[in-house]
């Protein structure tokens, strides 16, 4: 371990196999591809993890390079506050921001929530995601998860009324939220929303493509609609108020926990419900997101539940209950 007084940065790509596979409207995944940043100083190491998303033009290699390019600035004294202007929002800044918070917490002897003056997170019920498939395959996967209180159902366009009806038959007690990942159109929007409302779905995430979602402001929404791909950080919130009832905050979009917490405050002030979400990732990505859970109506932090193996000192999951991180993991 280095004992340098000057912060030293290391970063690498790490891959974690998914148990089986995971499918959404954009395709199937068999592994979580993460990029980890480590900042070492005075014998302490702060870590942060991110997941680059090709949907936003990110790749693991470019994200790794963007993190590594900050080495000289960090060695020259770049603070976490200055980082917010020095890098654009996105995965690379997320890994660095979370690594710096972890390092600050370790150096101060405080837990991250005390360091940042936020409420102490408690255990929360996370959504559990059901992959996109045929109505029969989704009903079978839902039946295996029917004991879970909150299920997030991936939808994909054609045939979604049949999918959601089959899922509801397989889990009569669970609260259902759905995520179309931009797969609906103005032509099928109202019929699909009605099919979801008919079986008691609580919330629909990102039905229309980002930038082509203005129809949401013109219809009477029969259930809550949540922005995901349409919303990134505080700057994108206000124009969405007429279209959406809720926003999915992900640290890989905001560019870290610092902006995620500011965004949560701004979203609440505008009257949005909050979902704290994640990509397919390890507990090192979920741990900082736990600080947003006290403000969240929906917690969607099931990434590690879909992996064949998590990191050492991973978050404790007791079925769908997720607990705050131990300091041995983060913060």
Q: Which residue is nearest to ligand LMR6JNQW (CB)?
A: 279
Rounded CA-CA distance 306/288 in Å is: 19
Number of residues that bind ligand LMR6JNQW (CB under 6 A): 19
- Alpha-carbon separation of residue 239 from 210, 242, 262 (angstroms): 12, 7, 17
Q: Applying CB under 6 A, which part among 140-148, 195-203, 287-295, 299-307 lies near ligand LMR6JNQW?
A: 299-307
Using alpha carbons, select from 238, 265, 264 the residue that is nearest to residue 251. Answer: 264
Residue 228 touches Mg ion, criterion: CB under 5 A: yes
Residue 303 touches ligand LMR6JNQW, criterion: CB under 6 A: yes
Name the residue with tokens 């995901």. 228
Q: How far is the CB of 300 from Mg ion (least distance, A)?
A: 8
Contact indicator for 324, 121 with CB cutoff of 8 Å: yes
Rounded CA-CA distance 127/201 in Å is: 13
Q: State the CB neighbour count (10 A cutoff) for residue 55.
A: 11
As beta bridge partners, residue 175 has 150
Q: Which of 5, 29, 152, 154 is catalytic?
A: 154
Q: How far is the CB of 76 from ligand LMR6JNQW (least distance, A)?
A: 32
Residues in 69-98 at the binding interface with ligand LMR6JNQW, rule: CB under 6 A? none
Q: Applying CB under 6 A, which part among 18-26, 64-72, 78-86, 97-105 lies near ligand LMR6JNQW?
A: 18-26
- Any catalytic annotation for residue 154? yes
Q: State the CB neighbour count (10 A cutoff) for residue 239.
A: 11
Q: Which of 135, 277, 324, 325 binds ligand LMR6JNQW (CB under 6 A)?
A: 277
Closer of 41 and 248 to ligand LMR6JNQW (Cβ)? 248
Rounded CA-CA distance 90/250 in Å is: 10
Residue 58 touches Mg ion, criterion: CB under 5 A: no
The backbone torsions φ and ψ at residue 109, rounded to the nearest 5 degrees and listed phi first, read 75, 10
As beta bridge partners, residue 318 has 321
Residues in 216-245 at the binding interface with ligand LMR6JNQW, rule: CB under 6 A? 228
Q: Which of 84, 174, 181, 282 binds ligand LMR6JNQW (CB under 6 A)?
A: 181
Residue 278 touches ligand LMR6JNQW, criterion: CB under 6 A: yes
Residues in 123-162 at the binding interface with ligand LMR6JNQW, rule: CB under 6 A? 129, 152
- Answer with the entry of Mg ion, ligand LMR6JNQW, none that 283 interacts with (C-beta below 5 to 8 A by kind): none
**Contacts made by residues 138-146, CB under 8 angstroms, sequence distance 24+:** 138/163, 138/166, 138/167, 138/170, 139/166, 139/167, 139/169, 139/170, 140/170, 142/166, 142/167, 142/170, 142/171, 143/170, 143/171, 145/171, 145/174, 146/170, 146/171, 146/172, 146/173, 146/174
Residue 313 touches ligand LMR6JNQW, criterion: CB under 6 A: no
- Tokens found for residue 214: 């203005």
Q: Applying CB under 6 A, which part among 64-72, 79-87, 208-216, 297-305 lies near ligand LMR6JNQW?
A: 297-305
- Residues recorded for the chain: 331
Residue 300 touches ligand LMR6JNQW, criterion: CB under 6 A: yes
Chain residues binding ligand LMR6JNQW by CB under 6 A are 22, 24, 26, 29, 51, 53, 129, 152, 179, 181, 228, 277-280, 300, 302-303, 306
**Catalytic residue numbers, as ranges:** 154, 250
Q: Which residues are annotated as a binding site for Mg(2+)?
A: 179, 205, 228
């Amino acid at each position: 371990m280095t004992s340098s007084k000057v912060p030293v940065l290391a970063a690498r790509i790490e891959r974690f196999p998914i148990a089986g596979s995971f499918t959404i409207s954009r395709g199937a995944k068999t592994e979580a591809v993460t990029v980890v940043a480590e900042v070492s100083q005075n014998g302490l190491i702060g870590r942060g993890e991110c997941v680059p998303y090709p949907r936003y033009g990110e790749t693991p290699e470019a994200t790794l390079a963007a993190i590594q390019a900050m080495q000289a600035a960090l060695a020259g004294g770049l603070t976490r506050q200055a980082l917010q202007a020095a890098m654009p929002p996105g995965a690379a800044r997320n890994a660095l921001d979370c690594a710096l918070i972890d390092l600050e917490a370790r150096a101060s002897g405080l837990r991250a929530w005390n360091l940042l003056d936020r409420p102490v997170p408690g255990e929360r019920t996370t959504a559990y995601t059901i992959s996109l498939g045929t109505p029969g395959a989704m009903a079978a996967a839902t039946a295996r998860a029917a004991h879970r209180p909150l299920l997030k159902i991936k939808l994909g366009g054609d045939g979604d009324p049949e999918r959601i009806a089959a899922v509801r038959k397989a889990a009569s007690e669970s609260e259902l939220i759905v995520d179309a990942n931009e797969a609906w159109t103005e032509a099928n929007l109202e019929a699909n929303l009605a099919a979801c409302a008919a079986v008691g779905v609580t919330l629909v995430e990102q039905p229309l493509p980002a930038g082509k979602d203005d129809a949401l402001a013109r219809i009477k929404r029969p259930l809550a609609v949540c922005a995901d791909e349409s919303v990134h950080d505080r700057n994108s919130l206000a124009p969405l108020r007429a279209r959406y009832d809720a926003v999915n905050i992900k640290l890989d979009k905001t560019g870290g926990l610092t902006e995620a917490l500011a965004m949560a405050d701004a979203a609440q002030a505008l009257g949005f419900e909050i979902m704290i979400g994640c990509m397919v990732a390890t507990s090192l990505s979920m741990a900082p997101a736990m600080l947003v859970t006290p403000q969240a109506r929906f917690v969607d932090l099931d990434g590690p539940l879909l992996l064949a193996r998590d990191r050492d000192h991973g978050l404790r999951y007791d079925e769908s209950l997720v607990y705050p991180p131990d300091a041995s993991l983060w913060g």
